[in-house]
Amino acid sequence: MADEGDLARESEDFHNRIALMPFRKKGPAAMSNLYCEDCGGKIPEKRRRAEPGCTRCVVCKNKAEGRGKREIS
């Protein structure tokens, strides 16, 4: 028979799983752009694989972050 500690642990695990559900990946990752939305240059395949859903090349992403411009992906 389970004691209070076991029941508390099961309850904690259950509530943790429920709380984390919205943060789990749902379906396939977003598609990356082939071309940068800022400069129009081609985004390398290696970058598109490393950061699914990216919309900017590395140079433009760094510029956007430096300016404080919010990046969606």
**Count, residues in the chain:** 73
Q: How many domains does the chain have?
A: 1
* Domain span at 63: 4-67
**CA-based nearest residue to 63, from 34, 33, 35, 38:** 38
Task: Note if the pTM is more than 0.75.
Answer: no
Burial letters 35-64, b for 16+ CB under 10 A, else e: ebbbeeeebeeeebeebeebbbbeebbeeb
Distance CA 55, CA 9 (A): 43
Is 27 within a domain? yes
pLDDT, position 44? 94
pLDDT in tens, the chain (73 residues): 678 988 999 999 999 999 888 777 665 667 899 999 999 999 999 999 988 889 999 999 999 888 655 555 5
Is 9 within a domain? yes
Is 14 within a domain? yes
